Amino acid sequence: MSADQRLADLGLTLPSPPKPIGNYVPFRLAGNLLFLSGVGPRRADETMITGKVGADLTVEQGYAAAKLCGINLLVNMIAAVGTLERVDTILKVLGMVNAVPDFTQHPEVINDCTDLFVQVLGEGGRPARSAVGMASLPRNISVEVEAVVLVKTV
């Protein structure tokens, strides 16, 4: 089954690519390595999920925010290489959680991003991963995720 079919089966419609909020590009392709800039939990209406996990948001709300990050990363993969069928493997994910100092469930929050990758890309979507807490994130977003992807050569 293709990644596009898996997306459809999940009932997911991908939004337009997010626009950078600074002086950077959303991705950089170097040979067959695709480096994706960090993205936040942007909804289809362009609003973001904001707040600190452990104070303003529950673990479950952070988990849902991480899924939105995953959706936005999939959108940027398509923008970079034309189709998810060119994605071979998600090599590395760095998930950053805007959390209160005593919060310890960062992996549980970031799981929804990597769960989505596995649902859409199969085992090629299971990355090496880091999930860390941050004192703050840009514009008070709750989660930010970046990734490195191995792309199939054409």
Instruction: Over range 76-104, report the average pLDDT.
Output: 97
Token couple for 120: 């859409």
**What is the three-class DSSP state of 91?**
strand
Structural domains in the chain plus CATH codes: 3-14+26-151 (3.30.1330.40)
10 Å CB burial of residue 12 (0-12, 13-18, 19+) is: middle
pTM higher than the cut 0.85: yes
pLDDT single digits (tens) 22-80: 899 999 999 999 999 999 999 999 999 999 999 999 999 999 999 999 999 999 999 99
As a residue count, the chain comes to: 154
